[in-house]
Chain A
């Protein structure tokens, strides 16, 4: 029985480790400035925790095989423990865990402690059951007021957001169902929600943030690769949660300017 346990535990360990090392199912390629640092820290964590995983499981399998009873009446070793060992592995574990976390803290600080730069591109992202809307402030740089009583989700666009046409700042606001941003610029998103908590998740950008009703949450990321990326809702928001997705299009600065200008022109 001890041998069977060893074989099964070792096989499970080695097979599952293989799929991690081979990256058979893995993160998509990172496309934001923060991705490299985050992915590097993923790797560090994988190696450290992977080593602990493999060591612990292999040790468990080995020990249950090696110390199987041989049927004789001989006794086991009578030991209540070893205080020195306890101290050593406690300190080592604490250093490993806390150290690993501190290593990642600079990335967290740069992503979250710092505000967006003044030159960032501002996009307001509004979540509602079950769609994402993206608003650009237009040449005046200001977002117009929205009023809940003006909301009409079925009409889409400005009406879905409840944009108040009486506010002069809203005249040049562009509302889109697709998020278009220029590459290599910092994008500041202002996250809002109309009804329940949603979450704005772009796997390729390593970006996630809950959109909470009653709050306007400012976050930022910098896409460094053009392309189309999927946006998925990452907080249970009701029966349509599984289909509340969107598209992020990262394009060159010229394409972005042209797209925005064309959308502004449509409003006139």
Chain B
């Protein structure tokens, strides 16, 4: 008999039954469909998420390209698209935001790399619920298709911004695209919520229940901590977004008035009354603020990882890093009102939210100090992953510094809804987080595909994107300081905004170059899959569990064996050790510090 481990249930399995099931568990899938389309293997599912996000980011970038062109040449007649009307600009803006936030920043770092590497980094053979994992990908994919469909229906895509404030988003008559396009937009987000919740379920259960022997919580790599905390944030936040979406669909289609007070549009009463536009904002931002931490935490975890690996030095303050991420996650649920200082919310409530918001800046600052502390006295190797990690720190600092301006309501009176806000969130989410995705790609490509990406192209991609991103988003601070307002499809109507057009021109040209540079990455990615230099199992000489498996890993990750962990994840440059790195599965080092 194979004994169970007790608890309340003393069920044991017969030898026969366990042998039958073991045979099923070991067998890799056969056939193209089971192997690549409806795969239950977390590694394939991770790649599927990655490629979905890759497609989404190029769509999102293309939309922003059209926006940038329209801003400086409003009357331009483009080939194929014709003239971009103001409402079209707004729908481009809406879809750009929605695609990037959901299908890139919430998909690639967590669904993509998290799915692929979380089980391996904790020594597990797969996620806890492989069928659910597969369903979570296809649900997300369906959400993307439904979202894109909004472009092609009568009225086109909605124009209410990714934040979808009611009543603009709740009234079919409030503008072009607010008909079927808006319903598809809400539906797609609801579908995405369900897919994200399914994914979060897997991440949390797997991390809690499937760690290999010796892999205590405090020996987990910071990437795993980041994915774990991100999943908890998602678990708590996406249900609220789903609820808001349901209420909005009811207001739009069933005549309820959750969000819509008595209003007239184009002189017509709409039949709604008594609803609260602020209720939408509260529900949306209760989700929306944790969402931005969902977008950045995996990149923070990876940055910690890469700075350590490529400085050949343990992460500075592992425990502090863990507590900082936990604090960011926890506090992230208490600051949503800072998006609503000007909304008509009580000023006393605003004050409370602003104090909490300043508080959440503290753990972020701690992380930044610790990243610098990791590099200090290291032996830095400047491979592409490291360049993007260093770039991440710089961009995170820049994007983070504008936060305390916006967190103070007195200053937010002026800065709210200006380009200063756009600069802030793009630098943190749109660039720093994306640098996390790039870094992850260059770092884990050898493990996923068995080949190295081209270093020269990688370095070129880094420099063009790093300088290009600053060139795009730094001037937006100045534009915002001059009261340049966001979501304006053109600057021709307000005199003081028109005066700022030279800044917009500079930004647009910087965007042309930066967007073009991304094709270097795309080329490098696909070319290296076929023709890149073959990679060893551990080309970066790193210590975490993914580097002890084969390259690429076999179906059950560890070839039928279970790793046993004796060390923490950042044992580099251990005095007295034969090499400058000690694998997590190597014999335990004596605690020195």
Q: Which of B317, B410, B487 contacts A108 (CB 8 A)?
A: B410
Q: Are B494 and A212 neighbours in the complex by a CB distance under 8 Å?
A: no
- In the bound assembly, the distance between CA atoms of A1 and B361 in angstroms comes to 31
A203 within 8 A of B: yes
A178 within 8 A of B: no
Q: Which of A86, A201, A240 contacts B485 (CB 8 A)?
A: A201
Q: Which of B354, B377, B592 contacts A101 (CB 8 A)?
A: B354
Q: Are B263 and A79 neighbours in the complex by a CB distance under 8 Å?
A: no
Q: Which of B318, B382, B411, B418 contacts A2 (CB 8 A)?
A: B382
A166 within 8 A of B: no
A233 CB to nearest B CB, Å: 8
A220 within 8 A of B: no
Q: Are B267 and A45 neighbours in the complex by a CB distance under 8 Å?
A: no
Closest to A89 in B: B369
Q: Are B168 and A196 neighbours in the complex by a CB distance under 8 Å?
A: yes
Q: Are A214 and B275 neighbours in the complex by a CB distance under 8 Å?
A: yes
- In the bound assembly, the distance between CA atoms of A94 and B351 in angstroms comes to 17
A63 CB to nearest B CB, Å: 5
Q: Which of B85, B317, B408, B572 contacts A86 (CB 8 A)?
A: B317
- In the bound assembly, the distance between CA atoms of A89 and B165 in angstroms comes to 39
| B 377-392 contacts with A by CB, 8 A | 377-382, 387, 390
Q: Which of A9, A94, A111, A129 contacts B410 (CB 8 A)?
A: A111
A64 within 8 A of B: yes
B1 within 8 A of A: no
- In the bound assembly, the distance between CA atoms of A60 and B393 in angstroms comes to 8
Q: Are B278 and A212 neighbours in the complex by a CB distance under 8 Å?
A: yes
Q: Are A75 and B86 neighbours in the complex by a CB distance under 8 Å?
A: no
Q: Are B409 and A129 neighbours in the complex by a CB distance under 8 Å?
A: no
B416 CB to nearest A CB, Å: 6
| B 305-319 contacts with A by CB, 8 A | 311-319
Given A63-B372, A81-B320: A239 touches B87 (CB 8 Å cut-off): yes
- In the bound assembly, the distance between CA atoms of A54 and B382 in angstroms comes to 23
Q: Are A148 and B481 neighbours in the complex by a CB distance under 8 Å?
A: no
- In the bound assembly, the distance between CA atoms of A202 and B385 in angstroms comes to 46
| B 402-433 contacts with A by CB, 8 A | 404-405, 407-411, 413-414, 416-418
Given A97-B404, A208-B342: A81 touches B373 (CB 8 Å cut-off): yes
Q: Which of A25, A73, A194, A209 contacts B342 (CB 8 A)?
A: A209
Q: Are B573 and A77 neighbours in the complex by a CB distance under 8 Å?
A: yes
Given A49-B405, A76-B572, A98-B355: A236 touches B494 (CB 8 Å cut-off): no
A151 within 8 A of B: yes
Given A27-B481, A111-B410, A242-B488: A63 touches B376 (CB 8 Å cut-off): yes
Given A19-B478, A210-B344, A239-B86: A80 touches B165 (CB 8 Å cut-off): no
Given A49-B405, A64-B375: A241 touches B487 (CB 8 Å cut-off): yes
Given A27-B414, A89-B366: A68 touches B382 (CB 8 Å cut-off): yes
| A 16-39 contacts with B by CB, 8 A | 16, 19-20, 24-28, 38
A86 CB to nearest B CB, Å: 5
* Binary contact readout A62-98 vs B (1 if CB under 8 angstroms, 0 otherwise): 0110011110011111111111011001100110011
A53 within 8 A of B: yes
Interface size class of A (residues with CB under 8 A): 35 or more
- In the bound assembly, the distance between CA atoms of A66 and B380 in angstroms comes to 9
Q: What are the residues of chain A within 8 A of B493 when measuring CB–CB?
A: 242-243, 245
A12 within 8 A of B: yes
Q: Are A76 and B378 neighbours in the complex by a CB distance under 8 Å?
A: yes
B362 within 8 A of A: yes
Given A2-B382, A97-B359, A234-B416: A195 touches B572 (CB 8 Å cut-off): no
Q: What are the residues of chain B within 8 A of A101 when measuring CB–CB?
A: 354-355, 358, 404, 407-408
B240 within 8 A of A: no
Q: What are the residues of chain A within 8 A of B366 when measuring CB–CB?
A: 86, 89-90, 93
Q: Are A230 and B495 neighbours in the complex by a CB distance under 8 Å?
A: yes
Q: Are A60 and B372 neighbours in the complex by a CB distance under 8 Å?
A: yes
Q: What are the residues of chain A within 8 A of B405 when measuring CB–CB?
A: 45, 49
| A 119-158 contacts with B by CB, 8 A | 129, 148-149, 151-154
B212 within 8 A of A: no
Q: Which of B85, B274, B379 contacts A76 (CB 8 A)?
A: B379
Q: What are the residues of chain B within 8 A of A245 when measuring CB–CB?
A: 493-494
Residues of A within 8 A of B (CB): 1-2, 5, 8-9, 12, 16, 19-20, 24-28, 38, 41-42, 45, 49, 52-53, 56-57, 59-60, 63-64, 67-70, 73-83, 85-86, 89-90, 93-94, 97-98, 100-102, 104-105, 107-109, 111-113, 129, 148-149, 151-154, 162, 193-197, 199, 201, 203, 206-210, 212-215, 217, 230, 232-243, 245
Known: A45-B405, A230-B496. 20 other contacts (CB 8 A): A12-B467, A25-B478, A56-B372, A67-B376, A68-B380, A69-B379, A76-B573, A76-B580, A78-B592, A108-B409, A112-B350, A195-B174, A196-B263, A199-B342, A203-B496, A209-B342, A212-B343, A214-B262, A230-B494, A239-B85
List the 10 shortest-distance A-B pairs measured between CB atoms, nearest first.
Answer: A214-B261, A81-B317, A112-B347, A75-B573, A25-B478, A203-B483, A239-B87, A77-B377, A243-B493, A1-B382
| Interface pairs (28), CB distance under 8 Å | A1-B382, A26-B478, A28-B496, A57-B394, A57-B398, A68-B379, A68-B380, A76-B377, A77-B313, A78-B592, A81-B316, A81-B319, A89-B366, A97-B359, A97-B361, A98-B359, A101-B408, A105-B410, A112-B347, A112-B409, A113-B348, A148-B262, A195-B167, A213-B263, A214-B274, A234-B417, A238-B175, A243-B493
